[in-house]
Amino acid sequence: MTGTTYAHLSRDQIELLERCEALARDVFAPLARDGAPGHLNRPLLRALGDDGLLDRVLGSAGEVPALDLCLVREGLARHSTEAETAFAVQGLGSHPMLAAGRSEVVEEWIPRIARGEAVAGFALTEPGAGSDVAALALRAERDGDGFRLTGEKVYISNAPDADVYSVFARTSERGLTAFAVPRSSPGLDGEPLALLSPHPIGRLVFDGVRVPATHVLGEVDQGFKVAMRTLDLFRPSVGAFAVGMAQAALDAAVAYASTREAFGRTLSELQGVSHQLAEIATGVQAGRLLVHSAAAAYDRGIRPTTQAAAMAKLFATETAQRAIDVAIQVHGARALEEGHLLEHLYREVRATRIYEGASEIQREIIARQLFAGPRAVGGRV
């Protein structure tokens, strides 16, 4: 690591990043290779628990340092996107329970999730509602002192085999409620989905699934706040995942261009190549700083951080897509071979521009913030 790249971080933060890179390369990557694509890799999750990384996202009382989360995700992504995704989804699925769950739920699930013994999922998206959370249709109807859930969720990470889900359902015309729903609940079923990048992801079907009142996360009809509290924390770290992948692609392109000869010179001596990589390096660092700035604002208690998080996610994920594309162009056809690092990253990076708010949604968030001020005071810019 160069001194200027991480000059804004403390020594402890740099050590955390370096530790995650080493673990990803030496411990998690071999476990990831041994796993079956598209299926839960429980040995990998247990290793994440054994090395204490899951504790980073399951801090006491739900107070998770957002910058630590970003550093872990960037470090893991440099050498094992599978480990990064397993870590991130475990945190995303469990954070609503940690931050808003009653003691019964927290005590039953959080220690096991932190050890990697139980698997969590975050169940928000539906067939008719992705970024438009207001369109959620999964119903939660009163049933004695509890609720019955009826409907469907789709593109749910770790589904259908997670052990417990943080589920968001409609409890009134304008209100959503969050629930902790164990996989063993009668009436809960599902199936895996095969996507471009083979992660464990699937569909969940709720057929009158009964959930006791003790499994409500937060307050009834206030589930939107629970979801946004989780997404505000995790959204900048999606950018960190993208930065880690972009850096891996840039490193590969620089190494290859330094040795590959064409027309009597190395590719690095061809301005058409070297200047492209210079632009990518600048973009990766800019994305990293946007991500770290948004996370630092969150950690300092600045609220809302919605615009900063949107800028970080938008810029970092769009930059990562370009970085990997340029790296493939530098390598040529060999980078398209199945199993090549860049072929793998090309499939991995695409989804980051969609989940936890597509790039178009991030632009809308940023634009609304830009124009909120002038409208609020009735003035003109």
- Contact 173/216 with Cβ under 8 angstroms? no
pTM for this model (two decimals): 0.94
What amino acid occupies position 341? L
**How does DSSP assign 107-164, residue by residue?**
HHHHHHHHTTSS-EEEE--BTTBSS-GGG---EEEEETTEEEEEEEEEEEETTTT-SE
- Residue 376, pLDDT score: 43
pLDDT tens digits, 224-273: 999 999 998 999 999 999 999 999 999 999 999 999 999 999 999 999 99
Residues 146-166 pLDDT 10s: 999 999 999 999 999 999 999
Q: Who's near 73: CB < 8 A, 6+ residues apart?
A: 84, 87, 88, 237, 240, 241, 244
306: Cβ–Cβ under 8 A, 6 or more apart, which residues? 232, 365, 369
Q: From the candidates 117, 318, 356, 360, which is the catalytic residue?
A: 356
**Residues 72, 20: contact at Cβ < 8 Å?**
yes
Lowest mean pLDDT among 126-140, 171-185, 289-303, 308-322: 126-140
Dump pLDDT digits (tens) for 324-366.
999 999 999 999 999 999 999 999 999 999 999 999 999 999 9
pLDDT at 17: 97
Domains of the chain: 11-114 (1.10.540.10), 120-221 (2.40.110.10), 224-371 (1.20.140.10)
Higher pLDDT, 80 or 304: 80
Residue 356 annotated as catalytic:
yes
pLDDT value of position 381: 33
The Cα 37–Cα 127 span in angstroms is 24
Q: Which of 313, 319, 317 is nearest to 298 (CA)?
A: 313
What is the C-alpha to C-alpha distance for residues 353 and 315, in angstroms, rounded to an integer? 10
Q: What percent of the chain has a predicted confidence (pLDDT) above 90?
A: 88
- CB count in 10 Å sphere of residue 11: 7
pLDDT band, very low/low/confident/very high, at 379 (cuts 50, 70, 90) = very low
Specify the pLDDT at position 378: 38
Position 193 pLDDT exceeds 90: yes
- DSSP state at residue 25: I
Residues 6+ apart with CB under 8 A from 102: 214, 215, 216
The one-letter amino acid code at 175 reads G
For the segment 311-331, the average pLDDT, to the nearest whole number, is 98
